[in-house]
Amino acid sequence: MFAMRLHKPGTPLQWEELPDPIPGPGEIRVKVLACGVCRTDLHVVDGDLTHPQLPVTPGHEIVGRIDALGVGVSTLALGQRVGIPWLGHTCGHCPYCTSHHENLCDHPVFTGYTRDGGYATMAVADARFAFPLGEDGSDIDLAPLLCAGLIGWRSLAKTGDAQKVGLYGFGAAAHIIAQVLVWQKKEVFAFTRPGDTKTQNFAKTLGAKWTGGSDEQPPEPLDAAIIFAPTGSLVPAALKVLRKGGKVVCAGIHMSEIPAFSYDTLWEEREIVSVANLTRQDGLDFLSLAPKIGIRTTTTRYALKDANQALDDLRHGRFDGAAVLVP
């Protein structure tokens, strides 16, 4: 097999040939058909997330076809197409696992971070954490649903019955969640980097009611805002566009420092919450709903060998929607 591997945070991924992995008990091996490039991969590569397995193969938006089964796998079959997400394994017995909060497990394993992921021609996963994908939809179109879609979905759920929802950072996750919001007959307010009219126009094509820079005030107060960009200064900015009782949801795994702000910015029962990881139920819920909504992902395709270019283009916002690696 071949993989793009990280040996040291802050250095480029390296193209390597490795022995084909053997799935252990309860595991599956897939031929990778496509793997999305998530901002979290950038945080792993840059060293923002500490204690990765090293060397590690990044990538946790894997669409693959099963070509080997470990002992004891009975729920999935050879030849089946599956999705492999960020949540790679949980302990099953900590207080979080036993109270329907496996996303907060005390002893988790994360794909492409603490175990090898999908920037490769093959990947191994715990069968219980892989999602059957069926045969509808292309591999490339489905890949971004596996993290951008799932984390976006979990973030959206945190906004409750909010009708007017702001999205800060209109990348892979927001371009999917905007479609969910429109389908739910809610209103989308898209905030981009100031002056980024290209992304604002992209947001309009997906049904945004209003678009503007993250330094702008929308024409009316919002019920909730989801921050997908890794920028701490957006937290007080987002609080300031909310009505009383509104909520800011921080969807990313890493964010730069949040600057100090005066208490009246939070006052009147505004809330700030974060979203961490996903549960398998989030995945089942979202992946069954996505075809009904008719979500269309906008993707830019890269060869596996060009993973470093894809990450760099993500860092600089050079494409709309999501980047996807195709081995």
Nearest approach in angstroms of CB 102 to Zn ion is 6
Q: Could you identify the residue written with the tokens 């974060």?
A: 274
Nearest approach in angstroms of CB 313 to Zn ion is 16
Nearest approach in angstroms of CB 91 to Zn ion is 4
- C-beta of 69 vs 180, nearer to Zn ion: 180
CA distances for 169 relative to 184, 223, 296, 322, angstroms:
21, 17, 18, 13
Tell me the C-alpha distance between 242 and 240, whole Å. 6
- C-beta of 159 vs 277, nearer to Zn ion: 277
- C-beta of 97 vs 311, nearer to Zn ion: 97
- C-beta of 241 vs 295, nearer to Zn ion: 295
- C-beta of 28 vs 147, nearer to Zn ion: 147
In 63-98, which positions are buried (b, 16+ CB within 10 angstroms) versus exposed (e)? bbebebbbeebeebeeebbbbbbbbbbbeeebebbe
**Burial degree of 19 (CB within 10 A; 0-12, 13-18, 19+):** exposed
Nearest approach in angstroms of CB 116 to Zn ion is 15
Nearest approach in angstroms of CB 30 to Zn ion is 18
Question: Do residues 112 and 60 lie in contact, with contact meaning Cβ atoms separated by under 8 Å?
Answer: yes
Tell me the C-alpha distance between 1 and 18, whole Å. 5
Binding site for Zn ion (CB under 5 A): 38, 40, 90-91, 94, 97, 105, 147
